Each structure stands twice: as C-alpha cells, then as structure tokens.
Structure 1
C-alpha cells in the first residue's frame, strides 16, 4: 500500500459514519457498471437467500419500524 493510500485511508476512517457512507457510495459508483453489477448481483442473491429462509420458517421477519430505528441509530 502506498503512503498516499495509507494517509487517505487513515483520514477517511476519521470521518463520521455519514461521511464514510457517502464516500463509500461515491467510490463504489466510480468503479463502473461491471463492478456494480457484481455487487448488485451479490446483494440480490443474499436477499433471495434470506427470503427463502423466511418462507421456509428458518428466519423471522423484522418490523420495518425496527429496521428504520436501527438505521437511524447507526447513522447518528
């Protein structure tokens, strides 16, 4: 890892959660469609796996309000 990359990483890790999330989104978006397609496909496969487990009774549902409350807590 180059010294510049180490410096950028250290500075990025010092950002707030919101700033890091924004930076991560910008960096991922800069990778192009091929990489994003792989990432999107991985998330789709994960969502389908979880949904299958839910339908089979292996996983319980979570109320949307709980999900949003947890997301808000994580972003503060």
Structure 2
C-alpha cells in the first residue's frame, strides 16, 4: 500500500470529523470521480440494450418481479444458513 502523505492525512482527518451523512456524500463524489474517464466504445449502447431486454421480459411476463422485502428476507435466510 502507498505511503500516506501529509496532505492525504490532513484530508482524511477532516473527512473523518464530518457527520456520517457528509462522509457518505464525500465517498460518493470520490467514487464517481474514479469513473470519469473515457467510456469504452459500445458500453452505453450495450447497457441500453440490456435494460430494454429486461423491461421487455418483465412486460411479457417471462420473468417475475420479486418485492424488495422478499429479496432481503431470502438473502438473510441464506446468510444465516451459511453460518451454521
């Protein structure tokens, strides 16, 4: 791991003094800044095609939507089973 410079240390100290909500905002902005490079050719179009395909599957009844609470319940049950 790279050595932390004084400047980075100062930024971290100030960031850690922020409220939880403000730290979350800082994290979101920092992560977003990592993705600001040039997009690979065709990625946007590929995601648009994938979204359209999934919407079509839902509308046609080919796939069934699961409520978020049900997904959370199933995941919690799987996690608990894995700990046994």
TM-score relative to the length of structure 1: 0.38
Which of the two has greater helix per residue?
A: 1
TM-score relative to the length of structure 2: 0.36
Larger radius of gyration: 2
